[in-house]
Amino acid sequence: DSGVTQTPKHLITATGQRVTLRCSPRSGDLSVYWYQQSLDQGLQFLIQYYNGEERAKGNILERFSAQQFPDLHSELNLSSLELGDSALYFCASSQTGQPSYEQYFGPGTRLTVT
Amino acid sequence: AQKVTQAQTEISVVEKEDVTLDCVYETRDTTYYLFWYKQPPSGELVFLIRRNSFDEQNEISGRYSWNFQKSTSSFNFTITASQVVDSAVYFCALSEGDWGPYNQGGKLIFGQGTELSVKP
């Protein structure tokens, strides 16, 4: 158990809908990352937050947004869902946001868009 | 541009065989960090090791060992006397740079992964 929690574990929804994925980092970790894992794209970095502020952005779609709250938990919002958004979404946390620190991953949320 | 290549998509071995998973990286930064993660069938990603660019010492942890060679931009992972529980997808990853206002944080760039199957 990495100490990172993600809810829900599974999510099935229809195209055009909006969903929210939630992540709680390990105790003491200030930085949260979101990654998407799909068969065609592999593991792709989406966005990073450090102590409530956005720190880095990857190829995150405009339909996707995220935030980190004062208690350091984070939410990833996905809207106007398309079939291609079906994937495993991971949250990870690290002690700081520095490249030198290892990231610990949550169990993931499997999103299926029908 | 930064890139991680794991040329071996799938490897199948019989228990007790040694197996090496290859990882080649590309980066323009002089300071960078390399990682290996394991993704067992249950799906979570498990951190195995971190190496920084200025430390080329090889590392051994039980049956696992890592060989970092800057000259060939490689960071290979060897499992000695493999076991069925080693069956998983293994990812090599890269993060770059130093912490600073213009740094792009600690994002990980992953390879495509190598699926290791260890048969009894």
pLDDT at residue B102, rounded to an integer: 53
Six-digit token string for B19: 């197996």
Give residue B3's identity as a one-letter amino acid code.
K
Residues 6+ apart with CB under 8 A from A42: B110, B111, B112, B113
Please judge whether A101 and B106 are an interchain contact, meaning their C-beta atoms are less than 8 angstroms apart: yes
Label residue B30 by pLDDT band (50, 70, 90).
Answer: confident
pLDDT tens-digit map of B57-83: 888 899 999 999 999 999 999 999 999
Label residue A59 by pLDDT band (50, 70, 90).
Answer: confident
User: Other CB atoms closer than 10 Å to residue B4's CB: what's the count?
Assistant: 23
The three-state secondary structure class of B105 is: coil
- Asked if residue B14 has pLDDT above 80, the reply is yes
Chain B residue numbers touching A98 (CB-CB < 8 A)? 98-99, 106
Q: Would you call A88 an interface residue with chain B, using a CB distance cutoff of 8 Å?
A: yes
Q: Work out whether the CA dihedral A79, A37, B4, A52 comes out positive or negative.
A: positive
